[in-house]
Amino acid sequence: MRKFVTARLAIPLLLCFLQAPSALAMGDNNTDKTTPDCPRGQVYDSASKKCVPDKSANLSDTDKTHYAYHLAKKGEYQAALNLLDSLKNSNTAEAWNYRGYATRKLGRTDEGIGYYQRALALKPDYAQAREYLGEAWMVKGRPDLAGEQLKAIAGICGQGCEEYQDLQAAINGHPES
């Protein structure tokens, strides 16, 4: 009887362990939870709710921009930059911010700072760009400039918003993973 109960419990337990890695892999790594992973060379199209070729004429710059950020948050920085290079209008705050994020993560911090500044020139109250600019200043050893961005974020969304808390953590020596 004991072997029967053990075997009967082992199968669901085993299935649980086998499914856990795929469930964790579906995690968003801080990207938009509604953006699924697409095969290489494809982008999630919000209108059709499916992955389409990245060269699709109907694919919006907004979808490409959001998917580029999704790629960057997954660590696919060069793929994100390549997708951003294909935008019809790359002069948006989001496109500059995500370009800054990807280049900073590739170790090109000065270049990333320039992109964040371009994003903020278009949209001064863009808290995420200020957070990432502050994180870049921390990489450069400039906590004073990071602190300026933290103050600006507090004025935009308060001390409770994610951008404020993330930059505060970076300033305190606990940068994002």
How many whole angstroms separate alpha carbon 130 and alpha carbon 152? 8
pTM of the model: 0.79
What pLDDT score was predicted for residue 5?
A: 45
- DSSP for residue 50: E
The answer, yes or no, to whether residue 44 has pLDDT greater than 80, is yes
CB 123 within 8 A of CB 100: no
Per-residue tokens: 5: 């109960």
Residue 176 banded pLDDT, cuts 50, 70, 90: low
Would you say 116 and 124 are in contact if contact means Cβ atoms under 8 Å apart? no
Find out whether 145 and 171 touch, Cβ atoms under 8 Å: no
What is the torsion angle, in degrees rounded to the nearest 10, for the CA atoms of residue 58, residue 62, residue 68 and residue 71?
-90
Q: Give dist(CA 159, CA 167) in Å, integer.
A: 10
Q: State the average pLDDT over residues 106-111.
A: 98
Tell me the two tokens of residue 79.
């793929």
pLDDT band of 1, cuts 50, 70, 90: low
Q: Are 175 and 146 within 8 A, CB to CB?
A: no
Tell me the two tokens of residue 14: 């085993």
128 contacts: CB under 8 Å, gap ≥ 6? 97, 163
pLDDT-derived band of residue 126, with 50, 70 and 90 as boundaries?
very high
The pLDDT, as a whole number, for residue 129 is 98
Strand partners for 44: 51
**Which whole number is the average pLDDT over 63-90?**
96
Residue found by looking up tokens 């964040």 in the block: 116
145-161 average pLDDT score: 97
6 pLDDT band, cuts 50/70/90, is very low
What is the per-residue pLDDT for 175? 72
Residues 6+ apart with CB under 8 A from 152: 130
Percentage of the chain surpassing pLDDT 70? 80
The answer to whether the beta carbons of residues 45 and 33 sit under 8 Å apart is no
Most confident of 22-36, 89-103, 163-177: 89-103
Residue 30 has pLDDT above 70, yes or no: no
Instruction: Name the pLDDT band for 56 (thresholds 50, 70, 90).
Output: confident
